[in-house]
Amino acid sequence: MAMDDAAGCCDLPTDVLVEILLRLPPSSRRRARLVCRHWHDVVSEHTTEMRSRAKALLWWNAVAYVVDDLSSSSTGSCRELWRSDGRSKLVGTCNGILCLCNNEEMTGGAITLVNPATKKTLPLPLLPCADKFIGHSRSRNWDEAYSFAYHPTTGRHKVVHVPCSFGHVCEFNGVHVLTLGDTLWREVPTSLEGRARCNLGSGIVSIDGITHWVTKGAATRVVSFDLEDELITSLTELPAQPAGPDHARLTEVHGRLGIVTHDRSVTTEVWIMEKGRRWSRRYSLRRQYLPWPHFVYGEYILTREESSLHVHHRRRGPSLSGEVVQVGQRDHGTLVANMKGANLYSQCRTFAYVETTEPLSAYEANKY
């Protein structure tokens, strides 16, 4: 059944449906989100797998910190989860696994998986042709071109490298995909004659088996790349024209694609992709900044000041109502973390993290 076909799916009261879903294993709950939009929203916002268990993970200065409980958060509840060698940046998290990229000039953007719960690591094959760009200083932001994704129907994890350029030194015209367990990357031509090249400043997010990025150039669009068919499925216009090419960032909000737009001083707005690829404004903030790429955790949202993160309880009712959630200038929230020396341009990023003890050996080559 297609997700957008809600016929026959909405007869059960929400509380009854929640009780049924809670009796399913986590993998089945993730697949249940594909039945229809109503089930997708119920699983995302009401089950422990997607809401209560998802913790806020903060990546700052090559260290991953996790906030165990946002409902009673304070600076003391932010604990160190994983410390890297200082040369890597966090690409993303999936089902308790961290995906790190080494940005040193001589590494070619080497990717390593980490399970903080077991303290195990797993290096992945190097991206094809990456060795040709080793030694170029413009390749120090390798991590910005990657996404770490999970496909719920196949149960497979994939690393995606999007079409992009680092100046005029490193240029990639196709999508490259590595399925965990494979030994080789696959190159997928785009056939869009350069129109799919990513604006790396807007970020890359993968949701329900689809990877999204914003194109670079005058005709800015959101590209959606299906990880099952490995095809570009759509090119969607932005909901609003941002103040500049780096004033729009992609995010995930309750399992849906979102985009954050902001002007230079006053308002930050968050738009959510609805049925029919229609954008709906969902959050509006006055003189408040959002961490990136993940800022919504169940009933809580994170905001950022110069060197600190704050948590806010969503007071204006459930997001399923479609009401725009307002966060005012005087609503400072509760302090979560203090990042000494940080400013709004620092590489501080936030993700959703769910702990797992699943061994990384399950993702070694030829283990499927």
Bridge-partner residues for 338, per DSSP? 308
Instruction: Determine the longest span between alpha carbons in the chain, in angstroms.
Output: 60
Lowest mean pLDDT among 1-5, 155-159, 182-186, 302-306: 1-5
Its pTM stands at 0.81
Mean pLDDT of 52-78: 81
The conformational region for residue 322 under phi > 0 = left, psi -120 to 50 = alpha, else beta, is: left
Q: Which amino acid is at 199?
A: N
pLDDT band for position 154 (cuts 50, 70, 90): confident
Name the percent of the chain lying above pLDDT 70.
79
The number of angstroms, rounded, from the C-alpha of 310 to the middle of its chain's C-alpha atoms is 19
Return the residue matching tokens 């799916």. 9
> How far apart are alpha carbons 139 and 136 in whole angstroms?
6
Walk me through the domains of the chain, giving residue ranges and CATH numbers.
1-53 (1.20.1280), 54-363 (2.120.10.30)
Neighbours of 249 (CB within 10 A): 20
> pLDDT at position 57, please?
95
* 254 burial via Cβ count (<10 Å: 0-12, 13-18, 19+): buried
* 118 burial via Cβ count (<10 Å: 0-12, 13-18, 19+): middle
